[in-house]
Structure 1
Amino acid sequence: MSNVQIKPFKVDIPEVEVDRLKRKLQDTRLPGREIVPDAGTRYGPEYSWAASLYDAWTNHYDWREVQGEINAFPHFIAEIENLRIHFLHARAVRDDAIPLLLVHGWPGSFWEFSQVWGPLSHPADPSQLAFHCVVPSLPGFCWSSWPPRAGWTLQDTARVFDILMKSLGYSRYMIQCGDWGHFVGRELGARYTDSCRLMHCNFAPSPLPEGVEYTEREKTVAARVEDWVENHIGYAVCMRTRPHTIGIALNDNPMGILMWIGEKYNEAADPNKQKKPFWTKAILTTASLYYFTDCVMPSMLCYYENVRHHNFAEFAIQPENRIKIPFGYTSCFWDTEPSSKRAVERTGNLVFYKERNDGGHFAALEIPEGITEDVRALAAQEWKWD
């Protein structure tokens, strides 16, 4: 992998761009009222929620402070297949550390793992397993290149990320992933088994066996999935059919970006986690990253170029897509589609399963202690160097 060029990179948004964002926010005019009286959440997030986030972003959020936190670990740009791939590299100090690839989805970013890359690479307890954390931005996100052609899929991204890990000297590695990142992990676990040896995910759409009687949890999940498809899937329909239209409309529109992506952090996360101040920071940081890097439009290609939501489960049980390596799954109760053990084990070599009653779709941000615990437990159980 000597042909892969890797150069240091520092996140440094010019002051003129930070000031411009502030001006655009200050010049923004909100509607001033909800769409109809007593709209609640039937028409989208509550108006009061949007107004509160707008105030926080305009008057209280400190990008420079967050940028300093982001730069606490080194960043790099790798040139692979004429693509610039941005990644954070949190190396452990221990020789026995396990290489770990962490892959986000939409509307996430590399920052989605900001609460776990430190504890995983530098555990407070020296007896715990440590990991060399490699956290890339998917093509089309943040400082990674946009996908170079029509038809670029997450299978292509998996190939590039496998090259990235090998170029860093990690001929064997583990992956943790959720959302669209799960499909990168599934590809690696199905077709790159010489290098990707172990997988943990917190999103794994899977069909239950036909004719089985549902458990109470499975009944709750089925009802939530039905509600999600009926009342919340409009964003995906837009992006998988007309990404240019909505992408151009949102590109230089901070409040538009905030609502488009922030809605998911409102709807797909544990409601108890949303009450904490950190959740506002999480939403505003993600919106800031999308705005500063002009990635809201190319990020939508995940939806346009890949499997549709209604085919997720069927895709996972196809023989060519089954995960051949050992893998683990953490089922978070507040996720959009938390799967059960007997469903997920139909999609591959499931060796670790954990149900958690807290956490949702953004598990690494919502329950970082739980995710680090489960990653370590799976690695302790299954990781082999040979």
Structure 2
Amino acid sequence: MSDSNIQPFTVDVPHEEVERLKKKLEDTRLPGREIVPGAGANYGPPYDWAKSLHETWLTEFDWFTVQEEINRAPHFITSVEDIKLHFVHARSKSASAIPLLMIHGWPGSFWEFSQVWDRLSSPADSADQSFHVVVPSMPGFCWSDWPPRAGWTMQDNARIFDKLMKRLGYSQYMVQCGDWGHFVGRELGAQYGDSCKLVHFNFAPSPLPEGVEYTPREKAVAERVDEWLRNHMGYAVCMRSRPHTIGLALNDNPMGILMWVGEKFIEASNPETQKRPFWTKAILTTASLYYFTGCIMPSMLCYSENVHHEHFVAFALEQRNYIKVPFGYTSFFWDTEPSSKRAVERTGRLVYYRGILSPHNIKAALRC
């Protein structure tokens, strides 16, 4: 593929691969009991939850139905700096549409934006702002190439995504991102102001000014963040220090992928959201994408090649990383590190802030 070529792409997992996954799930032997009596969620996801997901994946989840849904979006492949990039490009018919780059994190994928790319590119109300939506798979995820070298960072992703947007004809654009995508968006907002004109985050670790008294929400958030950092960061330490070990162990292990990935879906989300039927489908679709594309191991490079979690807030305060373009932030309480307005405004030109429980109306934040 030449560097300037953009080719349509269709997701087409061979039937034999789907049957192989089913056989591996059939052959999976669960331990039959939780680790100790009354373990609940104290040692990781509850055993009954894991057992139920395994049964649903094996007996109810239909990959080919999901694949058909995935292919309703326009997918493409191109090569930037000799790196194959997979992306969704949902163009709007509106002449006033704004180019919008949407960037996933871990354990996510392009698919996490599937609920909004149609609504953003073709809003039901013609009076609403519409967008040309571009959703790339980061290097190391799904059908994009693996990072080409050690030390490939989110700043490298920012550079090639900026080139991708320009290749698509978008000399100026805005960005929506969270999780590891936040670091791509921060780089674009700090260093690519000629093309990146606005950024919206749903994850932006930031420190409060020293000596301030907490508001009730800030106190609740601080307690949640402290509990997260004390009890839920084992996965990150493993992936940043031994991605080869964990990656090889999980590569051809669907139940292992399901537990490693699915755990974050229940630990970093609103419990009410988890009751929705879509939530189980989202977990199983993500686990299937990771399994079929063999990306569980390279996806871990996010953790090993970038700033470590204990330095996230210091990174945001570095002058080089100050966001020079206008940016907005929606703080979801159930995210891993929700920040308050007076914290996040220290890291850039904050023009919009909202603190809420669940991401039910992210479209409104983007259209503000």
Question: 3-state DSSP class of the match of 1:239?
Answer: helix
Query: Does residue 344 of the first structure (1) align with residue 344 of the second (2)?
Result: yes
Q: Give the Cα–Cα distance (whole angstroms) in 2 for the partners of residues 216 and 310 of structure 1.
A: 24
Question: 3-state DSSP class of the match of 1:312?
Answer: helix
Residues 250-300 of structure 1 deviation map (CA, whole Å, 9 limit, x = unaligned): 000000000000000010011000011110000000000000000000000
Matches within 5 A, 1:292-311: 292-311=292-311
- Aligned residue number for residue 4 of structure 1: 4
- Aligned residue number for residue 82 of structure 1: 82
Q: Give the Cα–Cα distance (whole angstroms) in 2 for the partners of residues 8 and 107 of structure 1.
A: 26
Matched to 2:307, the amino acid is V
Q: Give the Cα–Cα distance (whole angstroms) in 2 for the partners of residues 209 and 121 of structure 1.
A: 39
Q: Give the Cα–Cα distance (whole angstroms) in 2 for the partners of residues 78 and 351 of structure 1.
A: 34
Question: 3-state DSSP class of the match of 1:115?
Answer: coil
User: Unmatched 5+ residue regions in structure 2?
Assistant: none
Matches within 5 A, 1:112-151: 112-151=112-151
Matched to 1:376, the amino acid is R
Question: 3-state DSSP class of the match of 2:332?
Answer: strand
The RMSD of aligned alpha carbons is: 0.8
Does the 8 Å CA contact 2:158/2:187 hold for their aligned counterparts?
A: yes
Residues 211-268 of structure 1 deviation map (CA, whole Å, 9 limit, x = unaligned): 0000111111111111111111000000000000000000000000000000000100
Does the 8 Å CA contact 1:330/1:353 hold for their aligned counterparts?
A: yes
Residues 280-322 of structure 1 deviation map (CA, whole Å, 9 limit, x = unaligned): 0000000000000000000000000000001001100110001
Query: Does residue 376 of the first structure (1) align with residue 360 of the second (2)?
Result: no
Residues 6-49 of structure 1 deviation map (CA, whole Å, 9 limit, x = unaligned): 11110110111011000000110001000000001110011010
Query: Does residue 198 of the first structure (1) align with residue 189 of the second (2)?
Result: no
Question: 3-state DSSP class of the match of 1:139?
Answer: coil
Post-superposition offset of 1:3: 4.5
Does the 8 Å CA contact 2:85/2:144 hold for their aligned counterparts?
A: yes
Does the 8 Å CA contact 1:103/1:178 hold for their aligned counterparts?
A: yes
Question: 3-state DSSP class of the match of 2:85?
Answer: strand
- Aligned residue number for residue 23 of structure 1: 23
Q: Give the Cα–Cα distance (whole angstroms) in 1 for the partners of residues 351 and 168 of structure 2.
A: 28
Post-superposition offset of 1:4: 2.2
* Greater than 3 Å deviation, 4+ residue runs: none
Question: 3-state DSSP class of the match of 1:157?
Answer: helix
Question: 3-state DSSP class of the match of 1:329?
Answer: strand
- Aligned residue number for residue 232 of structure 2: 232
Does the 8 Å CA contact 1:5/1:80 hold for their aligned counterparts?
A: no
* Alignment TM-score, normalising by the size of structure 2: 0.99
Q: Give the Cα–Cα distance (whole angstroms) in 2 for the partners of residues 53 and 328 of structure 1.
A: 36
Question: 3-state DSSP class of the match of 1:193?
Answer: coil
Does the 8 Å CA contact 1:187/1:321 hold for their aligned counterparts?
A: yes
Question: 3-state DSSP class of the match of 2:339?
Answer: coil
Q: Give the Cα–Cα distance (whole angstroms) in 1 for the partners of residues 45 and 220 of structure 2.
A: 22
* Alignment TM-score, normalising by the size of structure 1: 0.94
Post-superposition offset of 1:111: 0.2
Residues 81-103 of structure 1 deviation map (CA, whole Å, 9 limit, x = unaligned): 11000000100011110000000
Question: 3-state DSSP class of the match of 1:331?
Answer: strand
Matched to 1:242, the amino acid is R
Does the 8 Å CA contact 1:326/1:349 hold for their aligned counterparts?
A: yes
- Aligned residue number for residue 106 of structure 1: 106
Question: 3-state DSSP class of the match of 2:86?
Answer: strand
Matched to 1:354, the amino acid is R
Does the 8 Å CA contact 1:102/1:177 hold for their aligned counterparts?
A: yes
Residues 158-194 of structure 1 deviation map (CA, whole Å, 9 limit, x = unaligned): 0000000000000000000000000000000000100
Does the 8 Å CA contact 2:3/2:82 hold for their aligned counterparts?
A: no
Question: 3-state DSSP class of the match of 1:29?
Answer: coil
For these two proteins, the number of residue pairs brought into alignment is 367
Q: Give the Cα–Cα distance (whole angstroms) in 2 for the partners of residues 4 and 43 of structure 1.
A: 49
- Aligned residue number for residue 326 of structure 1: 326
Q: Give the Cα–Cα distance (whole angstroms) in 2 for the partners of residues 319 and 238 of structure 1.
A: 30
Q: Give the Cα–Cα distance (whole angstroms) in 1 for the partners of residues 217 and 45 of structure 2.
A: 26
